Amino acid sequence: MIVSDDLIALVENYNPKANADLISRAYDYGHEMHDGQLRHSGEPYFTHPVAVAAILTEQHLDDATIVTALLHDTIEDTRSTYSEVEKRFGKEIAELVDGVTKLTNLQLSSSETKQAENFRKLFMAMSKDLRVILVKLADRLHNMRTIRSMKPEKQHQKARETMDIYAPLAGRMGMHWMREELEDLAFRVLNPEARNSIIRRFITLQRETGDVIQKITSDMELELDKAGIQAEVLGRAKKPYSIWRKMQEKEIGFSRLSDIYGFRIIVRSEQDCYGALGAVHQRWRAVPGRFKDYISQPKSNGYRSIHTTVSGRDGRRVETQIRTREMHEVAEAGVAAHWAYRDGVRAENPFAVDPAQWIASLTERFDSEDDHDEFLEAVKLEMYADQVFCFTPKGDVVKLPRGATPLDFAYAIHTRIGDSCVGAKVDAVRVPLWTRLKNGQSVEIMTAEGQRPQATWIDIVATGRAKAAIRRSLREEDRERFIKLGRELARVAFDQIGKRPTEKALSTAARQLGLDDSQTLLARIGSAELTAREVIQTLYPELAKTPGDEIDAARAVVGLKPSQTFRRAACCQPVPGERIVGISYRGKGVMIHAIDCEALAEFEDQSGRWVDLHWQEGRHPAVHTVSLDLTIANDSGVLGRICTLIGEQQANISDLVFIERKPDFYRLIVDVDLRDVEHLHALMLALEAEGDVAAIDRHRDLERKP
pLDDT for residue 695 is more than 60? yes
Of 447, 476, 505, the residue that ends a domain is: 476
pLDDT per position as a tens digit, 618-645: 788 889 999 999 999 888 888 888 888 8
pLDDT of residue 266: 95
pLDDT of residue 405: 92
The domain that holds 9 is classified in CATH as: 1.10.3210.10
pLDDT for residue 209 is more than 80? no
User: Stretch 591-598: mean pLDDT, rounded?
Assistant: 89
Return all residues near 677 (Cβ < 8 A) that are at least 6 apart. Answer: 575, 576, 577, 578
Q: Would you call 76 a catalytic residue per the annotation?
A: yes
User: Stretch 160-169: mean pLDDT, rounded?
Assistant: 83
Residue 67 banded pLDDT, cuts 50, 70, 90: very high
Q: Which of 271-280, 438-447, 509-518, 538-547 has the lowest mean pLDDT?
A: 538-547
Same domain membership, residue 323 and residue 400: no
| Burial 457-491, CB ≥16 within 10 A → b, else e | bbebbbbbbbbbbbbbbbbeebbeebbebbbbbbe
Type of residue at 377: E
pLDDT per position as a tens digit, 367-401: 444 445 555 555 555 555 556 778 888 877 787 87
HEC string of 578-647 equals: CCEEEEEECCCEEEEEECCCHHHHHHCCCHHHEEECEECCCCCCCCEEEEEEEEEECCCCHHHHHHHHHH
Same domain membership, residue 419 and residue 312: no
User: Stretch 241-263: mean pLDDT, rounded?
Assistant: 68
Q: Which of 107-111, 208-212, 592-596, 604-608 has the lowest mean pLDDT?
A: 107-111
Same domain membership, residue 24 and residue 163: yes
User: Stretch 236-253: mean pLDDT, rounded?
Assistant: 74
Residue 514 banded pLDDT, cuts 50, 70, 90: confident
370 located within any domain: yes
Same domain membership, residue 102 and residue 222: no
481 located within any domain: no
Q: How many CB atoms lie under 10 A from the CB of residue 620?
A: 21
Most confident of 98-112, 157-171, 193-207, 259-273: 259-273
pLDDT of residue 222: 93
Q: What are phi and psi of 663, to 5 degrees?
A: -60, -30
Same domain membership, residue 174 and residue 72: yes
354 located within any domain: no
| Cα four-point dihedral sign 113, 115, 116, 119 | positive
Higher pLDDT, 120 or 534: 534
User: Stretch 167-178: mean pLDDT, rounded?
Assistant: 82
pLDDT for residue 145 is more than 90? yes
Alpha-helical (H) ranges within 112-263 are 115-128, 131-145, 152-161, 167-172, 176-190, 192-209, 212-226, 240-250
Q: Choose the catalytic residue: 12, 43, 76, 180.
A: 76
254 located within any domain: yes
pLDDT for residue 157 is more than 50? yes
184 located within any domain: yes
Domain that holds residue 675: 624-698
pLDDT for residue 48 is more than 60? yes
Element (H, E) at 49: helix 47-57
The domain that holds 652 is classified in CATH as: 3.30.70.260
The domain that holds 403 is classified in CATH as: 3.10.20.30
Helix and strand counts by DSSP (H, E) for the chain: 29, 23
Higher pLDDT, 516 or 87: 87
Residue 41 banded pLDDT, cuts 50, 70, 90: confident
Residue 672 banded pLDDT, cuts 50, 70, 90: very high
pLDDT for residue 109 is more than 80? no
| Cα four-point dihedral sign 367, 371, 372, 374 | negative
Q: Maximum distance among all alpha carbons in the chain?
A: 85
pLDDT of residue 625: 94
pLDDT per position as a tens digit, 75-97: 888 899 999 999 999 999 999 99
Q: What are phi and psi of 450, to 5 degrees?
A: 90, -10
588 located within any domain: no
Residue 546 banded pLDDT, cuts 50, 70, 90: very low
Higher pLDDT, 562 or 703: 562
Q: How far is CA 226 from the centre of its chain?
A: 43
**Is there a contact between 94 and 129 (Cβ–Cβ < 8 Å)?**
no
From first CA to last CA, the distance across the chain in angstroms is 69
User: Stretch 159-168: mean pLDDT, rounded?
Assistant: 84
pLDDT for residue 588 is more than 70? yes
Same domain membership, residue 376 and residue 290: no
CA dist 471 → 41, 466, 610 (Å): 49, 9, 18
pLDDT of residue 111: 45
Of 476, 495, 523, the residue that ends a domain is: 476
**Is there a contact between 160 and 190 (Cβ–Cβ < 8 Å)?**
yes
pLDDT of residue 641: 86
SS3 label, residue 305: coil
Same domain membership, residue 138 and residue 42: yes
Q: What are phi and psi of 406, to 5 degrees?
A: -55, -30
CA-CA distance, 115 to 272, in Å (whole number)?
Answer: 47
Same domain membership, residue 94 and residue 134: yes
| Cα four-point dihedral sign 64, 67, 73, 75 | negative
pLDDT per position as a tens digit, 392-436: 888 777 878 778 899 999 998 898 899 999 999 998 899 888 888
Q: Please name every residue paired with 306 in a beta bridge, in sequence order, or none if there are none.
A: 293, 322
User: Stretch 268-284: mean pLDDT, rounded?
Assistant: 92
CA-CA distance, 397 to 413, in Å (whole number)?
Answer: 10
User: Stretch 564-570: mean pLDDT, rounded?
Assistant: 90
Nearest to 215 by CA among 202, 199, 233, 232: 233
Rounded (10°) CA dihedral 333, 338, 341, 343: 110
Residue 125 banded pLDDT, cuts 50, 70, 90: low
Same domain membership, residue 412 and residue 446: yes
pLDDT of residue 569: 92
pLDDT of residue 99: 85
pLDDT for residue 363 is more than 60? no
619 located within any domain: no
User: Stretch 277-281: mean pLDDT, rounded?
Assistant: 93
pLDDT of residue 601: 83
Of 171, 190, 209, the residue that ends a domain is: 190
Give me the long-range contacts of 599-604 (CB less than 8 A, separation at least 24).
599/569, 599/571, 599/572, 599/702, 601/432, 604/432, 604/433
User: Stretch 577-585: mean pLDDT, rounded?
Assistant: 89
Instruction: Give the chain's domain count.
Output: 4
Quick one: residue 498, left, alpha or beta (phi over 0 = left, psi -120 to 50 = alpha)? left
pLDDT per position as a tens digit, 655-669: 899 888 888 888 999
pLDDT of residue 207: 73
Type of residue at 385: A
Q: Choose the catalytic residue: 58, 77, 232, 332.
A: 77
pLDDT per position as a tens digit, 447-467: 988 888 887 888 888 887 888
Same domain membership, residue 372 and residue 319: no
pLDDT of residue 113: 40
Return all residues near 640 (Cβ < 8 A) that are at least 6 apart. Answer: none
HEC string of 481-548 equals: HHHHHHHHHHHHHHHHCCCCCCHHHHHHHHHHCCCCCHHHHHHHHHCCCCCHHHHHHHHCHHHHHCCC
User: Stretch 100-126: mean pLDDT, rounded?
Assistant: 61
Same domain membership, residue 306 and residue 260: yes
504 located within any domain: no
Q: Would you call 703 a catalytic residue per the annotation?
A: no
Mean pLDDT taken over the chain: 82
Q: What angle do CA 532, 538, 542 make, to 5 degrees?
A: 105
The domain that holds 313 is classified in CATH as: 3.30.460.10
The percentage of the chain sitting over the pLDDT mark of 90, rounded to a whole number, equals 26
Same domain membership, residue 404 and residue 320: no
CA-CA distance, 232 to 421, in Å (whole number)?
Answer: 49
CA-CA distance, 73 to 508, in Å (whole number)?
Answer: 43
